Chain A
Amino acid sequence: MTKSQSIIEVNHVSKQFEDGTFALRDVSLQVKKGEFVTILGPSGCGKTTLLRCIAGFQVASSGDILLNGEDVTDMPPHMRPVNTVFQKYALFPHLNVYENVAFGLKLKGVEKSEVERRVKRALKMVAMSDYEYRHVDSLSGGQQQRVAIARAIINEPEVLLLDEPLAALDLKMRKDMQLELKEMHKKLGITFIYVTHDQEEALTLSDRIVVMREGKIQQIGTPTDIYNEPQNCFVADFIGESNILSGKMIRDRRVEFCDQEFDCIDEGFGENTAVDVVIRPEDIYIWKDERGKVKGGVSGQEDYDPEDRVPKGNFTKWYGVVDSCIFKGVHYEMTVKTDNGYEFMVQDYHEFLPGTEVGMLVKPEDIQIMHKEHHIYNHFEGEVLKNGLVRFLDADWEVTEEQIAPFQPGDKVEVRVAFREVDLQDHEEEGVLSGEVHYILYKGNHYNLTIRTDEGYDLYVYTNDIWDDGDRVGIVIPKESILLGKMME
């Protein structure tokens, strides 16, 4: 992509708030003219801050933002050729629909007849022609959103910024508006930058998706790229359903996971490298295990020959027993437990009842290999107490002075604890709080435990010790392992 083609260039932008926390860390992004780019991430990932930096409501602490090649990093919002559609519409309650839409044009001193012509055209565009003189309070959420869009596009901005514009609408309305937005984008030819936490929305609408987490860009790519080739566990987990396993790249095109070797198509990870493996549940072929010992049986499918659907060839197969089966409308979603303790989520058009012994296989091209994530943390909401302790998970914890120094008693803080750092005790009374082993996933070289505390919180723990489902444990977190950060909106 040459520079002249990109309408927006974000170069190494960081945003640090007054209290020292980072909302953006070295974010770089280029947006081409006419593109529909979605910034996707969970709440607090910095996606809204990035949008607000582009709009001019917030100024980047470092780095610069170019609009059409011109540096706008410090330009006030009213001078930028961008317009924003706000999450809660932000329509002016003292003006009617017409006056709201005409607001920008009137400020520019556009002639009255011209204003009228353009307002009518914009309202027609969003199918709100008959509402010109209605009070904005009398409109439904969807209608208000349409007016907000009309108000933004009437100024013919070069870039339209949309901050979770559909988040406040109900599901059906949201689906309709998604299609309309897509249509509008085609018609207008304006560049759209769209912020959302809804991965489905991002996949439906975008030309490209920017996945963010904790102020950093995780991956930029087309919806297909992001879905089929997630670059790390976070992206894989955030976009769609997935089975994530720890594995080992034995050599190019050969990976080991679930104690078995599989052919794959990835290269360049080196030999015997620890990796994470992602398999989408719909990519797993499943059939009634030919080894017999049927406990449940395939409901209503007795005479169907599974081998018709299952690709023939020299694929690695593995076996398990169906643990649960849920009807999801179009398909069934099954959890299959293997003998060696793995659980797989499998989606299939056929129902396999719990207890059925099944065989599974996955095609080499459907195995996605990723570099291993090293830092994975538990995140909790906490509150700083007067005596230097921090309260989270309904218990009081000791933390280091260095961690607590920036905070005052009463401050709400984000608490992070690495999965590896949580210490589990045999006797529950030895822990600061107690819980029960709720879920175990073996990820190749360690167990990934979910501990459910007695208060109902989930805590993730990586450990080499062997625990059983339902074990009572005491939970200890060394004070050096409790990291505090400022709460993000």
Chain B
Amino acid sequence: MMKVFQNRRSWAWPYIVFLVLLVILPLVLIGIYAFTDIEGHFTLRNFIQFFHKTEAVNTFIYSIAIALITTIICLLLGYPAAYVMAMRSFRTPAVMALLFILPMWINFLLRTIATVELFHMFNLPLGEGALLFGMSYDFLPFMIYPIYNTLQKMDVSLLEAAKDLGATRWQTFVKVVLPLSMPGIYSGIVMVFMPTVSTFAISELLTHNKITLFGSLIQRSFGEGGILMWNYGAALSLIMLVIIGATSFFGQNDTETESQKGGLL
């Protein structure tokens, strides 16, 4: 018995059990359900059904568009914030970083409900605008943090070297800072795009169920459709999985350096 505990490899067993039961098994089940009909026979009908339903395809494209716009908004807001924090112009960058990260400590749902209340308070209509606002607010820290991380780790002497070689502030930024912060940007994009493309609760709350996103579509297939819709829902999940999988390969031609320099991923 002692020997088992001394062997560090054995410490991984609880997680391996967890992994198999809660990650691998469900994935396999999704795969099986997606390619079978209700009687368990192999079929591609679930996919065909999806691509034939204009409404479903539109929802799919709309979800991706919303996720993309959210990601772009977060990038445009997050990069300058991260840059200012990292460039040491603040005496207490740690405090600033904390302020930006602080919203992450509060539960998503809670923040979303608060946002809804805020819109009610100012008599603003819920809908697409509220959705983009709420999602950008929710996911902004996930953009700032990895970018801040890469910028902060950047060797100051590189910036000095650029200036020394004749680069103005702007040239230094474009030719040195920006390319060197790309790993952080990639991480940020993936961190924001992945959860926004699959979101459903946030969108339902912020649009008062007026706008249906792909995540809601899946949720409804399982929730409201009963056992009859499980196979269809599984197919939709698989499609989303492929999309998310594709994003995480985005800009991963040099994965190794990225994980060294990048933030959360």
Contact = CB atoms under 8 A, between A and B. Distances in A.
The winner among A76, A83, A94 for most chain B CB atoms within 10 A is A94
Interface string A36-67: 00000000000000000001110000000000
Contact of A90 (B161, B166, B180): B161
Interface residues of B, number: 18
A102 to B, nearest CB: 10
A369 B176 CA distance: 54
A107 B163 contact: no
Interface in A83-113: 83-84, 86-88, 90-94, 103-104, 107-108
B165 A55 contact: no
B165 to A, nearest CB: 4
B171 A90 contact: no
A335 interface: no
A104 B163 CA distance: 9
Contacts, number: 64
B166 A86 contact: no
A151 B164 CA distance: 11
A83 B165 contact: yes
B180 A93 contact: yes
Contacts of B157: 86-88, 90
The winner among A87, A90, A108 for most chain B CB atoms within 10 A is A90
B179 A94 contact: yes
* Majority DSSP secondary structure for residues of A touching B: loop
Given A57-B160, A84-B160, A90-B160, A78 B155 contact: no
A155 interface: yes
A155 B160 contact: no
A104 B171 CA distance: 11
B151 to A, nearest CB: 14
Nearest to B168: A78
A77 interface: yes
Interface residues of A, number: 24
B72 interface: no
B258 to A, nearest CB: 12
A94 B179 CA distance: 7
A122 to B, nearest CB: 13
Contacts of B168: 78
B48 interface: no
B160 A108 contact: no
B162 interface: yes
Interface in A270-326: none
Interface of A: 55-57, 76-78, 82-84, 86-88, 90-94, 103-104, 107-108, 151-152, 155
Given A90-B161, A92-B161, A93-B180, 15 more contacts: A77-B163, A78-B163, A78-B166, A82-B164, A83-B165, A86-B160, A87-B157, A90-B157, A92-B158, A92-B162, A93-B158, A94-B176, A103-B165, A103-B175, A155-B166
20 contacts: A55-B164, A57-B160, A78-B163, A78-B165, A78-B167, A83-B164, A86-B157, A87-B157, A88-B155, A90-B160, A90-B161, A92-B158, A92-B176, A94-B179, A103-B167, A104-B165, A104-B166, A107-B171, A151-B161, A151-B165
